[in-house]
Chain A
Amino acid sequence: MRFASKLVGAAALSALAFAAVPASAAERIALVVKSLGNGFFDAAAKGAQQAAEEIGDIEVIYTGPTSATAEGQIEIVNSLIAQQVDAIAISANDPDALVPVLKKAMDRGIKVISWDSGVAPEGRMLHLNPSDTDLIGTTIIKLAADYLPEGGDVAILSASSTATNQNAWIEAAKAALPTEFPDINLVAVVYGDDDSVKSTDEAKGLIASYPNLKAIIAPTTVGVVAAAQVVTDEGLTGKINVTGLALPSEFKQFIDNGASQAVALWNPIDLGYSAVYLSHQLIGGAEAKPGATLSIGHVGEITLDETNAAAMAPPYQFDASNIEEFSKIY
């Protein structure tokens, strides 16, 4: 009887059913993400699939660990190496820990690129950033300027005064002002520390201090929601336009109620699309070296810098025409 019970256990173990052997395609490109079950990456996989259909004869393997760990991604890369995929495009959980296994992949003839969240240069052939400092700086001013044909006063509500990213973007924005947006007058930069309450107070302060304020620009997803809520609560929709970098799912209500005309953020669909496009070109023999220009299909083209990294595009704009669609994605 005891033997029988063990047999049942053994049978349960062996129940590892045959899964279908994947259909063979000419090129197999693996899209490895930080973790599965994340809307942002599911959207990227959608874009990857689009690129695969556009180019033709490409199988996209969309995979990632259950929890966002480097060790989990290493196990996956090991199994991709064993499958002899043609390319691995990874959004890494750790820029350093994945380097040895990705080097091994390259040694075995697999093309490796990183996208979104990068790997140290020795662990990949090129890295695709969603955007870059100058593009973001220009975009956040443009978002406000597009709806101010006569120009006017705008203010920036940032994260903390020590936030490296935001400070760089604001510097780039200031640099773009005199040449590209001469009619826009930046009256103040305040800091909400990415805290809803502090951001709300700072937004109220801006509205009280600058009666001619036409737009509040918040290059942070926390600040932009707080500012839009203040404008909504104080009945200033139509008078002050809130804009900046926002998650469509969090921000949809403020586009709907008119507190904001448009906001922007990276587009995960385009990221996945571009990652497959770049992988395909590397498989085809394109060389990734500083200064090289590579096409990323309908998104445009990129030029690699001295670390073989490149920015994909300016942040993608969300307004009344597409916020509904993107709010369901991320």
Chain B
Amino acid sequence: MKDTSLTARHIPDRLDSPLRAALLSWPSLLLAVAIALFVLNALASPYFLSPWALSDATFNFTEKAIIALAMALLIISGEIDLSVASIIALASTMMGLALQFGVGTPGLVAIGLLTGAACGVFNGLLVTRLALPSIVVTIGTMSFFRGISYITLGDQAFKGYPPSFWYFGQGYVWWVISFEFALFLILAVLFYVLLHRTNFGRQIFVIGNNPVAARFSGVRVERVKFLLFCLTGLMSGVAAVLLTARLASTRPSIAVGWELEVVTMVVLGGVNILGGAGSIQGVVIAAFIMGLVTFGLGLLNVPGIVMSIFIGALLIAVIALPILVRRLRERLTR
């Protein structure tokens, strides 16, 4: 006698086999590209394959990549935060101010993180309580947060951070593995678990796909979004600590223009800019790709403007090609 109610029956939720799906997924293709870039770089420059050179290269993207982890979650939920670079400026300025009052390294780190989180709370409240579009809110706070830095500092700089504080931006955990890079790897694992292995993560996808359906299913949409803004603010605070320690100084123009590089990383990582889809693996690999491209071209002394054009072309290709191919296919099958 068969007991159909007790034995679980496997119902395929996709037509491809899992292996084939994994191989054809966006992250695996990105990984292939990253490996190709790595090989190309190694062939193009004799200086590329040195542990210290590669270690130095990680500093170029680590702070941005840490923000990109949180930004990915925010964008998947259908929101965006363009104020992240300005949060870095404000958090760094607050740390500099605290330094003037003789606060030590642990206090400085706490102030940096708290300022970042507070900025995230501010963004989150404006978006969720007043139901304002996040792109408008964060364009506003982008000027607002950095404006406070400019008012505080003018054309001056805060410097004189203690050597123990430098560790966060210049120290090494083991051999060539910098503290920054180690922290990024740990955070990447935590964000992977949060997005892909928890209920909270599933809720983010549901909200991004259909906020109305999510609300009817009992997901507390506003609360999730608010928490994501706080998380993005907090990660910007982390980036502020790392960058300030790396520069050993604060100027109001710190990290200018980084918000677009962070969003570029997220979109290149296969996160749908309209929300609802994406993965942390993709974002992590995209961060490496951007690091490889800028460092590789830098080793060949290619002018920065060419790098910008290359990254821009990359982004357009990534967004446009799938759409173009789908259109073409529809036309052919009609």
Contact = CB atoms under 8 A, between A and B. Distances in A.
Interface in A22-78: 22, 36-37, 61, 63-67, 69-72, 74-76, 78
12 contacts: A5-B322, A5-B324, A13-B317, A16-B296, A18-B43, A70-B254, A75-B294, A79-B57, A82-B295, A94-B251, A97-B157, A100-B169
B213 interface: no
A19 interface: yes
Q: Interface on chain B toward A: helix, strand, loop, or mixed SS?
A: helix
Interface string A5-23: 1111110111010110110
Contacts of A99: 248-249
A84 B46 CA distance: 11
B44 interface: yes
Interface residues of A, number: 45
Contacts of A22: 300-301
Contact of A3 (B24, B36, B297, B329): B24
B44 A19 contact: yes
A4 B322 CA distance: 9
A64 B304 contact: yes
B53 A100 contact: no
A96 interface: yes
Q: Which 5 A-B pairs have the closest CB atoms?
A: A79-B298, A5-B325, A82-B53, A96-B249, A66-B304
Most central of B46, B47, B297, B329 by chain A CB within 10 Å:
B47
A255 interface: no
A14 B298 contact: no
B57 A13 contact: no
B298 A97 contact: no
Given A2-B325, A79-B57, 19 more contacts: A1-B325, A4-B325, A6-B24, A6-B322, A8-B325, A9-B317, A9-B321, A13-B289, A19-B300, A64-B304, A71-B256, A71-B258, A78-B295, A83-B45, A94-B157, A97-B247, A99-B248, A99-B249, A100-B248
Contacts of B325: 1-2, 4-5, 8
B293 interface: yes
B170 A100 contact: yes
Contacts of B40: 14, 16, 18
Contacts of B322: 2, 5-6, 9
Nearest to B289: A13
A180 B294 CA distance: 55
